[in-house]
A and B are shown apart, each in its own frame.
Chain A
Amino acid sequence: DAGVTQSPTHLIKTRGQQVTLRCSPKSGHDTVSWYQQALGQGPQFIFQYYEEEERQRGNFPDRFSGHQFPNYSSELNVNALLLGDSALYLCASSFLSGSSYEQYFGPGTRLTVT
């Protein structure tokens, strides 16, 4: 059973560009959450998708947007990249109606903005 997968592994972009990161949830999961982890810090919640809609959102600007597809996979889009967007972006999946309260994390995408 494949766990949470993310692509690409690493990405280098220039300030002002746009980037799309992808996530496939663990089999049987229907909810995808995205987190940003800056160097030396804990992950910060960006937003969560369920039934193809944004269900919760953290304190991130509108430059950060997302999408969830019918197969539950998800994309994170960041427009007008800033140097401060350089971070590890983590995707987590869960089953919203489940009782385990566990979120499974992918290996992350390392984004470097130059």
Chain B
Amino acid sequence: AQSVTQLGSHVSVSEGALVLLRCNYSSSVPPYLFWYVQYPNQGLQLLLKYTSAATLVKGINGFEAEFKKSETSFHLTKPSAHMSDAAEYFCAVSDGETSGSRLTFGEGTQLTVNP
């Protein structure tokens, strides 16, 4: 079975500060990992994905994440937060068996950006 733990249900940063959202996973097979963002009353938008290629993955809107197998982590970072980054962020894992494999999500982290 696969699982995801997101440390910190709420994270608050100042505009311009570093954003760090933590994600740890558990998987019995090599995982495929994803970060999604959800704005209020909307669906999920893919930020970035790790599919066993480069361990440092760059995504949209200046976000990036690093896959660390030894730490079973896939933390999301952004050097400088913008007000528009305020949203809920979800880390997800799949077994990567096929492109449509089921996703297992974490509980989410609500990011607040203060002016």
Do A and B actually bind? yes
Binding site for B on A (CB under 8 A): 4, 31, 33, 35, 40-45, 48, 50, 55-56, 58, 90, 92, 94-108, 110
Residue among A33, A42, A58, A105 making CB contact with B100, cutoff 8 Å: A33
A99→B100 CA distance, assembly (Å): 10
Q: Once the chains bind, are A95 and B108 in contact (CB under 8 Å)?
A: no
B98 within 8 A of A: yes
Q: Which residue of A lies closest to B32 (CB)?
A: A101
Which of B32, B45, B98, B107 gathers the greatest number of chain A CB atoms within 10 Å? B98
Residue among B51, B96, B100 making CB contact with A103, cutoff 8 Å: B100
A111→B40 CA distance, assembly (Å): 16
A85→B72 CA distance, assembly (Å): 33
Q: A56-B101, A56-B102, A105-B45 are in contact. List 6 more A-B contacts (CB 8 A).
A: A31-B99, A42-B106, A50-B100, A94-B100, A103-B46, A103-B100
Subset of 8 A-B contacts with CB under 8 Å:
A35-B105, A44-B105, A48-B102, A90-B43, A94-B100, A101-B51, A106-B43, A107-B43
Which of B41, B100, B107 gathers the greatest number of chain A CB atoms within 10 Å? B100
Size bracket of the B interface: 20 to 34
A108→B100 CA distance, assembly (Å): 18
Residues in chain B near residue A44, CB distance under 8 A: 105
- Of residues 17 through 51 on chain B, the ones whose CB sits less than 8 Å from some CB of chain A are 32, 36, 41-46, 49, 51
Counted as pairs of residues, one from A and one from B, with CB atoms less than 8 Å apart, the total is 73
Binding site for A on B (CB under 8 A): 4, 32, 36, 41-46, 49, 51, 90, 92, 94, 96, 98-108
Q: Once the chains bind, are B102 and A102 in contact (CB under 8 Å)?
A: no
Residues in chain A near residue B45, CB distance under 8 A: 105
Residues in chain A near residue B32, CB distance under 8 A: 101
Residues in chain B near residue A4, CB distance under 8 A: 43
Residues in chain B near residue A99, CB distance under 8 A: 99
Q: Once the chains bind, are A105 and B44 in contact (CB under 8 Å)?
A: yes
CB-CB under 8 A for A103 and B42, given A42-B108, A43-B90: no
Smallest Cβ distance from A69 to chain B, in angstroms?
Answer: 17
